[in-house]
Amino acid sequence: MVRSPMADPDPTPREPDQPGLADTDDVCLCFHVPLGKVKAFIRREDPPVASLISDCLGAGTGCGWCVPVLRMLHRQHESGEPMQVGVDPAAYAGGRRAYRQTGQRPDGIDKSAGSDLPPTS
């Protein structure tokens, strides 16, 4: 089997009782870019700034909802922490729907740093 260079070498599926996005869940909902691809891109390319993650299939260049998450993943990588998004996929998608309708992020989401993601359900 030929593996894509963007493929995550160790994709982590979500366990039923484990909150958070799995590697197969989309981080960028506009361009359907899964978390695993973003993590593999960050590990391989080691971008000096989070904005360069947009080179990964356009992540973060659509509606902008995922930009704080991409910044958070970049910070996690830079600090040597595991890259993970601890938000329920349904809550993440629901937050984006509201964001697209209103242009406002739900309360508790830090627009600049992406540190406070929507709570898990």
Within-domain flag for 54: yes
Within-domain flag for 6: no
CB 120 within 8 A of CB 19: yes
Could you read off the pLDDT of 61-84 as tens digits, one per residue? 999 999 999 999 999 999 999 999
Binned at pLDDT 50, 70 and 90, residue 115 comes out as very low
Could you read off the pLDDT of 2-17 as tens digits, one per residue? 434 444 445 555 455 5
Instruction: State phi, psi for 109 to the nearest 5 degrees.
Output: -105, 120
The pLDDT score that the predictor gives to residue 105 is 84
Q: Which residue has the tokens 């992406």?
A: 114
pTM score, two decimals? 0.77
Domain that residue 38 falls in: 26-102
Within-domain flag for 5: no
Within-domain flag for 71: yes
Within-domain flag for 20: no
Within-domain flag for 30: yes
The pLDDT score that the predictor gives to residue 18 is 64
| Overall average pLDDT of the 42-69 stretch | 96
- Give the pair of three-digit tokens for residue 78: 């830079």
The pLDDT score that the predictor gives to residue 13 is 52
Burial of 74 from C-beta contacts in 10 A (0-12 / 13-18 / 19+): buried
Distance separating alpha carbons of residues 66 and 97, to the nearest angstrom: 12
Distance separating alpha carbons of residues 79 and 17, to the nearest angstrom: 27
- Helices vs. strands in the chain: H and E counts, helices first: 3, 2
Q: How many domains does the chain have?
A: 1
Within-domain flag for 95: yes
Within-domain flag for 18: no
The pLDDT score that the predictor gives to residue 110 is 44
